[in-house]
Amino acid sequence: MFNKGSSDSRSDADLVQACNQGDATDAKRAFEVLYRRHKDYVIRVALRFVPDNDSTLDVLQETFSYLLRKFPPSGPGLTLTANLATLLYPVAKNSAISLLRKANRFPASDTLQPDDLQAATTSHHHDIQPLLGELSEERQEVIMLRFVDDMSLQEIASSLQIPLGTVKSRLHLAIKQLRDSPEVRNLLDP
């Protein structure tokens, strides 16, 4: 889920702790490592909701700005009780939805194609998007979090702030609906 190519081998929990209690230099370095590890994930989440790269970059910036505000000296600190993606997903999703609401009030002009987005925009979830189109938005979201983002059921429940039973139900019904879909059967039967 994160960029394992990072030169810092500390866990996300250790990096969060450094951001909370480290000196300014160590806290800055720790936050930069968190950013590098999770920026592609936040971009993938943003691309599920926003239509262009400019908006995706805005969501990326807002998500990590939110995270930065959680750490001292501006915030009280952050206690990481689960995978960091569990926290980042709802922040990125809500940032994207807010951005879309603003965009509907103030239509945007031309979009740019930043080079650093190219790796994240080639994710495989675009290949399955037509198959997921038949699912409700809630079921699509659970499927993407489970099988694309590789979140556990408990992490999905935490991210979406819904009961674990609801996650299980949505996932079960989504899988059943996909299995019953003629398009999926045609894809699986060559």
**What's the pLDDT score for residue 42?**
96
Cα angle for residues 158, 136, 141 (degrees, 5° grid):
30
What is the C-alpha separation between 136 and 83, in angstroms, rounded? 26
Q: Is the confidence at residue 6, as pLDDT, over 50?
A: yes
For residue 52, give the DSSP letter. S
What is the C-alpha separation between 160 and 138, in angstroms, rounded? 10
Q: For residue 115, give the amino acid letter.
A: D
Q: For the segment 119-154, what is each residue's pLDDT rounded down to a tens digit?
A: 444 444 445 667 788 889 999 999 989 988 889 999
- Take residue 21 and report the two structure tokens written for it: 């209690």
What is the C-alpha separation between 135 and 143, in angstroms, rounded? 10
Q: For the segment 58-100, what is each residue's pLDDT rounded down to a tens digit?
A: 999 999 999 999 998 888 888 888 899 999 999 999 999 998 8
Domains of the chain: 1-122 (1.10.1740.10), 124-190 (1.10.10.10)
Residue 2 near residue 37, CB atoms below 8 Å? yes
Residue in this structure with the two tokens 């807010």, named with its chain if needed: 98
